[in-house]
Amino acid sequence: MIIWVLSVWAFVFGVLAIRAHYKGPRFLVYIFRPITMAVIISLVLEAGSQARPDYRYAIAAGLVISLAGDVFMILRKKRFLEGLFCFLIAQVCYTFAFLSGIYLKFSSWPTLPLLIFTVLVVLILHPHLGKMRVPVFLYIFVIITMARAALERAIQLPGTAALAAAAGGVLFVISDFLVAFDRFVKPSRSAQAFILSAYFTAQWLIALSVCLR
């Protein structure tokens, strides 16, 4: 029951965060976006005791570091590079979690679509990045590695927990591509609704993977 109670609260606060972004006042963004992540973190702490300790701790670490990244991203004077670094470390934590308890012998089929997607993203972003090219491309490599590990976990460990992790990993990639496209290629007022919806859902699914069997 606690899983779904906390999930409902995460949904409510996530909606309020998105609404505050468009309707204001601005200080509500500073309140509701971190609270949404705090509720998602509480999922792992309150309902994740049956998971492998290394998996649980790595996911919890990734969520907490993501929360720090959120803080950098919502400051009025946005600290993009610092936020990007926080999310990069979070992806490393998630990758470690997804690789725990599985064989490091990967199936071949998920690699091709991820590779095609990565090439397309690089081609789209490359002309627009300027001095941010190296950190952004490094982040792309790390998050694609995370998604690949999440998909492999779902292949080797059939079950709802691994499926939630895989869906969360893929959705995180989509969310961050939308962030990059909005920031570097073509800003759009409507982008934040899609970005935050995908982001919160991805983090919720990753946290949920600790709570499910």
pLDDT digits 0-9 by tens, 3-53: 999 999 999 999 999 999 999 898 999 999 999 999 999 999 988 788 889
Task: Single out the residue of 195, 198, 202 nearest to residue 178, CA to CA.
Answer: 195
Exposure string over 78-113, b if 16+ CB within 10 A, otherwise e? eeeeebbbbbbbbbbbbbbbbbbebeeeeeeebeee
Name the percent of the chain in helix, strand, coil, to the closest 5.
85, 0, 15
% of the chain with per-residue pLDDT over 70: 99
pLDDT digits 0-9 by tens, 181-207: 999 999 888 899 999 999 999 999 999
Q: Rg (Cα) of the chain, in Å, rounded?
A: 17
DSSP 8-state code for residue 186:
-
- The domain segmentation of the chain, as residue ranges, is 2-211
Q: Is the peptide bond before 158 cis (omega within 30 degrees of 0)?
A: no
- Mean of the per-residue pLDDT values for the chain? 93
Exposure string over 198-208, b if 16+ CB within 10 A, otherwise e? bbbbbbbbbbb
Task: Give the SS3 label for residue 88.
Answer: helix
Q: In this structure, what token pair is assigned to residue 116? A: 């095609």
Taking a C-beta distance cutoff of 8 angstroms, is the pair 32, 9 a contact?
no
Q: Rounded distance, CA 83 to CA 88, Å? A: 9
Whether the predicted pLDDT of 76 surpasses 70: no
Taking a C-beta distance cutoff of 8 angstroms, is the pair 67, 37 a contact?
yes
Residue 42 corresponds to which amino acid?
A: S
Q: Rounded distance, CA 26 to CA 76, Å? A: 9
DSSP 8-state code for residue 213:
-
Q: In this structure, what token pair is assigned to residue 60? A: 């919890």
